[in-house]
């Protein structure tokens, strides 16, 4: 049996030293010091982190609270201070363009880039980092405690025995006993003793608008989804970007036990490995295992209560992966979300009961506005002005509502000037007037021919003037756009 791949202490120091970006450094430290599943890492939000208490709260099927090391607290503090301002409450977000939650592929790219910068010749991926934490954990605690920390069965840790007990495996590598996470220079250590880094709790509250964890106006939709799940029916949520599909998926993941939340099905093998780690933890599968073999392990698992697989951005699947997904959906409940189901996966969509996520109605929009502005200070007239403008611009799009409210000042009284300055296009619906313009243009051309045919000089002049005015109008409309 091949031993799980992992990093020794010197490798950890080299890897962390090569990650200069605060986000990448914090991400690597969190993985190496907590051993989270990849799906758990990408699902972390700002509420998950308690810097003062040095705790990390994990929700979902393997709900638990983990201790954060001082190194992890420091790394997260540096990242939160540098994190872009965004209403998105994901802990790790992109740093270029509009900040978005990191995907599985993004995390994999960060790890591989750091390994390349560190000069590693061997392949380093997420599973190698997680294995590294497991090895270090088992060396200082029993398997029962380790399984509780990792959120897995004790049997899943048996394959690490030859590494933890090196006498049974002469090829197992040993560590040097020093703290591998402390990559500071001697001068930096002196400075930190004199002026230690303190957790900036404001970094969390400043970047997260109030109420982003609350779901409003989706009671009927959640009720329909619950009834379908009770009937073992898979569900596909559809709707435009920002309508709240991801929020609904996370709510269902928190509501129903035995769920696995996957932020993206890319890379596909990584998603299957996440699924296999839960449903058949005693089976030894890795990145080297072929996709058919991983699928066989999943299908062969004997589970009295099969988990619900929740996949966001399910439309990112490749056509070549469609048959594998159909095989999974025939045995498990799968809940997915996509803006618009692509035709290339048409056979897969037939397996789902599709639920369209509608825009928020007027009362729900107002309730969301009230919830998001409970900490703002404004008088009744100003609030009415804000409600009217947000209601008009957002057009029932929850993300647009959050974006608009996030533009208000957090630390001072909101006035009418602040409200007039907010703007957003996510929820605006533009009407297409093209067909009306074409009809008007056609009528003008026809009228000119009629005037020529009837020898009506006045009609010809009027038609010519109308055509000119039409062209001028069309020109200015085009400029305005």
- Are residue 347 and residue 382 in the same domain, yes or no? no
- 221's CB contacts (< 8 A; 6+ apart) are 248, 355, 357
* CB 466, CB 444: distance < 8 Å: yes
- Are residue 284 and residue 260 in the same domain, yes or no? yes
- Are residue 417 and residue 347 in the same domain, yes or no? no
**Structural domain of 450:** 434-480
Distance CA 117, CA 113 (A): 6
* CB 419, CB 389: distance < 8 Å: yes
Detail the DSSP E strand segments found in 18-172.
49-50, 55-58, 64-67
- Tell me the backbone φ, ψ of residue 435, rounded to 5 degrees: -65, -35
Q: Which of 356, 380, 409 is the last residue of a domain?
A: 356
Kind of pairing, strands 259-262 and 308-311? parallel
Beta bridge mates, 356:
238
For residue 329, pLDDT over 80 is answered with yes
The token duo for 360 is: 């928020």
pLDDT digits 0-9 by tens, 118-177: 888 778 999 999 999 999 999 888 888 888 998 888 888 888 888 877 654 555 555 655
- 342's CB contacts (< 8 A; 6+ apart) are 315
Q: Which of 174, 207, 240 is the last residue of a domain?
A: 207
Q: How many domains does the chain have?
A: 4
- Are residue 157 and residue 277 in the same domain, yes or no? no
Task: Tell whether 294 is covered by a domain.
Answer: yes
Of the two residues 470 and 253, the one the predictor is more confident about is: 253
pLDDT reported for residue 411: 57
Q: What is the CATH number of the domain that holds 197?
A: 1.10.443.10
pLDDT digits 0-9 by tens, 400-453: 888 888 888 865 678 888 888 887 654 444 455 667 777 887 887 888 788 777
- Are residue 254 and residue 345 in the same domain, yes or no? yes
- Are residue 295 and residue 345 in the same domain, yes or no? yes
Distance CA 410, CA 426 (A): 22
For residue 200, pLDDT over 60 is answered with no
Task: Tell whether 2 is covered by a domain.
Answer: no
For residue 83, give the H/E element and its range: none
- Are residue 140 and residue 67 in the same domain, yes or no? yes
Token pair 């090895």 is at which residue?
135
Beta bridge mates, 101:
93
Q: How far is CA 213 from CA 88, 263, 371, in A?
A: 10, 17, 11
- Are residue 340 and residue 243 in the same domain, yes or no? yes
Q: Which of 152, 183, 207 is the last residue of a domain?
A: 207
- Are residue 20 and residue 162 in the same domain, yes or no? yes
pLDDT digits 0-9 by tens, 94-106: 887 668 889 888 9
**CA 260 from centre of chain:** 14
| Number of Cβ atoms within 10 Å of the Cβ of 463 | 21
pLDDT digits 0-9 by tens, 41-88: 999 998 889 888 899 999 877 889 999 998 999 899 889 888 887 777
- Are residue 232 and residue 345 in the same domain, yes or no? yes
- Are residue 66 and residue 198 in the same domain, yes or no? yes
pLDDT reported for residue 480: 45
Q: How far is CA 224 from CA 59, 237, 244, 473, in A?
A: 23, 11, 16, 49
Distance CA 351, CA 236 (A): 9
The token duo for 278 is: 């839960």
């Amino acid at each position: 049996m091949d031993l799980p791949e992992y990093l020794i202490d010197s490798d950890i120091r080299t890897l962390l030293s090569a990650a200069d970006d605060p986000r990448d450094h914090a991400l690597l430290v969190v993985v190496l010091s907590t051993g989270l599943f990849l799906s758990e890492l990408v699902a972390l939000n700002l509420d998950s982190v308690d810097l003062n208490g040095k705790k990390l709260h994990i929700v979902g099927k393997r709900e638990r609270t983990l201790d954060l090391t001082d190194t992890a607290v420091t790394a997260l503090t540096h990242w939160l201070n540098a994190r872009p301002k965004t209403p998105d409450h994901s802990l790790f977000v992109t740093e270029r363009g509009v900040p978005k939650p990191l995907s599985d592929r993004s995390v994999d790219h960060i790890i591989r880039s750091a390994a390349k910068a560190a000069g590693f010749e061997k392949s380093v991926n997420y599973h190698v980092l997680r294995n590294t934490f497991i090895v270090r954990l088992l060396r200082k605690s029993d398997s029962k405690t380790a399984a509780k920390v990792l959120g897995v069965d004790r049997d899943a840790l048996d394959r690490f025995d030859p590494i933890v007990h090196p006498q049974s495996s002469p090829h197992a590598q040993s560590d040097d006993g020093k703290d591998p996470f402390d990559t500071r220079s001697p001068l930096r250590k002196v400075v930190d003793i004199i002026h230690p880094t303190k957790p900036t709790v404001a970094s969390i509250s400043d970047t997260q608008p109030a109420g982003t964890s609350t779901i409003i106006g989706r009671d009927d939709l959640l009720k329909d989804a619950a009834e379908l799940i009770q009937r073992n029916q898979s569900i596909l949520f559809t709707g435009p970007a920002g309508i709240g599909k991801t929020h609904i998926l996370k709510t269902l993941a928190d509501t129903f036990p035995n769920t696995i939340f996957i932020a993206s099905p890319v890379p596909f093998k990584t998603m299957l490995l996440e699924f296999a780690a839960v449903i058949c933890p005693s089976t030894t599968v890795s990145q080297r295992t072929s996709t058919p073999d991983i699928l066989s392990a999943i299908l062969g698992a004997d589970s009295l209560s099969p988990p619900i697989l929740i996949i966001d951005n399910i439309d990112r699947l490749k056509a070549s992966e469609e048959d594998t997904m159909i095989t999974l959906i025939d045995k498990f409940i799968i809940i997915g979300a996509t803006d618009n189901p692509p035709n290339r996966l048409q056979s897969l969509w037939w397996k789902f009961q599709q639920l369209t996520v509608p825009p928020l109605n007027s009362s729900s929009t107002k309730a969301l506005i009230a919830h998001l502005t409970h900490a703002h200070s404004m008088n009744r007239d100003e609030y009415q002005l804000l409600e009217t403008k947000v209601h008009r611009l957002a057009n029932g799009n929850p993300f647009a509502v959050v974006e608009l409210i996030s533009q208000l000042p957090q630390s001072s009284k909101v006035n009418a000037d602040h409200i007039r300055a907010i703007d957003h296009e996510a929820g605006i619906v533009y009407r297409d007037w093209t067909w009306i313009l074409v009809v008007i243009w056609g009528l003008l051309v026809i009228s000119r021919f009629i005037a020529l045919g009837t020898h009506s000089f006045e009609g010809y002049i009027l038609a010519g003037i109308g055509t000119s005015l039409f062209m001028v109008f069309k020109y200015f409309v085009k400029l305005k756009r």
